[in-house]
Structure 1
Amino acid sequence: MLDKSYEVDNQTGTNQEGPDANRPLRRLTATSIIGDKIENPEGDDLGRIDNLMINVRSGKIDYVVIEYGSFLGLGGKLFAIPFSELRPAPGRNVFILDRDEEYLKNSPGFDQTHWPDTNDHTYYGDVDLYWGYSAVP
């Protein structure tokens, strides 16, 4: 029996056996999506995933922090958007956000050096209201 090497699978998150292996996509590691591009359905670049905000009570990802408008990590703005707003693009390291660039730019954002407090109900309340989202307490 041939011994299978799982090194490629573990590094890429893709099962290398068969044309539809690892479909439908159900789980990804945080490190495999941090840095992934965000696009709208038209293919416009909306930034990259900078970080994840995990609800420690529910164990679910509440928000994805998107870095938008930076060049080499400088001058950009960060936006916490509900994770449920994103969907993975099969076969690519890209997530799709069904919103245009203006919608993202007008959402509540923050600076890389001034993150909102994790208990800042005002900021996250504004985010939830803007996106029509209700986070689990």
Structure 2
Amino acid sequence: MNYEERDSYGIYKVKTGTPSGPDTSHGPGPHLMGAETLIGNDVFNKAAEDIGDIKEIMIDMRTGRVSYAVLSFGGFMGFGEKLFAVPWEALTLDTTNKRFELDVNKERLEHAPGFDKNKWPDMADAKWEAGIHAYYGTTPSRPPASL
């Protein structure tokens, strides 16, 4: 599912006569988007492989910035599903295909630090944060707390 299909407020309204894409003259998208419309969006890699979907968006309440998108990958109908906190900076919005893109192949994602839906990590922990950013090759948007 994509953000246009979840848009209950008309944020990403398509301009009449335009084949695709939001009418940026009448709303904030795609440069400013509602978090609720992004939950459930598909995530593909650069090889156009479906690698999951966004289950949650984590906001750093100290800075007001989005820190992570929590993706699900694997499993069947929620069973055996693994969750991954992916730094927001690692994701790119693909407005043509109305999905997110993450530059990681499936094999690398299968070995990425993940967690079970019933056992979330302490995402405020500086060591955990440094490890996640190192894995995805990103830099935190704020200096990490002292290690």
Q: Describe the SS at the equivalent of 1:47.
A: strand
Within 2, Cα distance between the matches of 1:27 and 1:122? 30
Task: Check if 1:99 corresponds to 2:120.
Answer: no
Segments ≥4 residues shifted beyond 4 Å? none
Question: Which deviations, in whole Å up to 9, do the C-alpha atoms of 1:51-72 show, x marking residues without a partner?
Answer: 1111112211111111100221
Q: What count of residue pairs does the alignment treat as equivalent?
A: 130
Opposite residue 41 of structure 2, the aligned amino acid is D
Cross-structure match for 1:5:
none
1:98 Cα deviation from its structure 2 partner: 1.7
Q: Is the CA contact 1:9–1:16 (under 8 Å) kept in the aligned structure 2? A: no
TM-score, normalization by structure 2: 0.77
Task: Check if 1:22 corresponds to 2:24.
Answer: yes
Q: Percent identity?
A: 31
CA root-mean-square deviation: 2.3
Q: Describe the SS at the equivalent of 2:55.
A: strand
Within 1, Cα distance between the matches of 2:93 and 2:131? 25
**Residue ranges of structure 1 left out of the alignment (5+ in a row):** 1-7
1:93 Cα deviation from its structure 2 partner: 3.6
Shift in alpha-carbon separation, 1:72–1:55, aligned structure 2, 3 A: same
TM-score, normalization by structure 1: 0.82
**Residue ranges of structure 2 left out of the alignment (5+ in a row):** 1-5
Question: Which deviations, in whole Å up to 9, do the C-alpha atoms of 1:59-108 show, x marking residues without a partner?
Answer: 11111111100221221111111111111221444111122111222221
Within 2, Cα distance between the matches of 1:134 and 1:94? 23
- Matches for 1:1-137 after TM superposition, within 5 Å: 10-11=8-9, 13-18=11-16, 19=18, 21-22=23-24, 25-135=30-140, 136-137=142-143
Within 2, Cα distance between the matches of 1:121 and 1:59? 17
Q: Describe the SS at the equivalent of 1:43.
A: coil
